């Protein structure tokens, strides 16, 4: 869907402080179509080019309502799943000759998937508390005592 010239002008105006009063209602922005493109793995820059706007405008549109933000988050997770499939396909198709190039592609896809769905594909980090030499920690209680309220200081 390409925007008409008047839609484009209105969109550009909506990005400025003066034009905020002229902003279209959230329902008039193509949120479902944008989210579909995100789920297909398109970047915000590619989507912005499709609509003739900046990636910042796309993010403003998506952020207009809680529902659109949730829909966008689900689309990002779906794109991460798509990248997972591409990673597996690239790994299966790798040959000794193409391995270095395939490794670069796979690493890039893994990086993007981890950013789009960090809970599912991000690097997991855990923090373990252990005592000396890896032994279980022994809880300690330290009690700090201050001077008496001056009662003993009177000589």
Residue 91, domain CATH: 1.10.10.60
Domain that holds residue 47: 5-119
List of the chain residues with pLDDT < 70 = 1-23, 26, 125-127, 148-155
Contacts with 19 (C-beta within 8 Å, 6 or more apart), sequence order: 10, 12, 13
Q: Let me know if residue 136 belongs to a domain.
A: no
Within a domain: residue 143? no
Provide the pLDDT for residue 148. 65
Tell me whether residue 12 is in a domain: yes
- Does the residue 144 lie in any domain? no
Contacts of 121 (CB under 8 A, 6+ apart): 80, 84, 110, 113, 114
- Please indicate, yes or no, if residue 24 is contained in any of the structural domains: yes
- What's residue 132's pLDDT? 78
pLDDT at 1: 45
User: How many domains would you assign to the chain?
Assistant: 1
Is 126 inside any structural domain? no
Look at residue 40 in the predicted model and tell me its pLDDT: 93
Angle at 46 between CA 40 and CA 50, to 5 degrees: 100
Look at residue 149 in the predicted model and tell me its pLDDT.
58
pLDDT at 14: 46
Q: Is residue 153 in some structural domain?
A: no
């Amino acid at each position: 869907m390409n925007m008409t010239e008047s839609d484009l002008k209105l969109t550009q105006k909506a990005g400025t402080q003066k034009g905020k009063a002229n902003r279209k209602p959230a329902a008039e922005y193509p949120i479902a179509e944008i989210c579909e493109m995100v789920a297909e793995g398109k970047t915000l820059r590619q989507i912005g080019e499709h609509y003739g706007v900046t990636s910042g405008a796309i993010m403003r549109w998506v952020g207009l309502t809680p529902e659109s933000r949730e829909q966008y988050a689900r689309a990002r997770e779906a794109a991460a799943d798509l990248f997972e499939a591409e990673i597996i396909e690239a790994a299966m198709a790798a040959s000794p000759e193409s391995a270095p190039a395939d490794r670069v592609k796979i690493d890039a896809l893994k990086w993007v998937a981890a950013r789009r769905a960090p809970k599912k594909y991000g690097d997991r980090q855990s923090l373990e508390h252990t005592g000396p030499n890896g032994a279980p920690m022994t809880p300690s209680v330290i009690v700090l005592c201050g001077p008496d309220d001056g009662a003993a200081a009177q000589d």
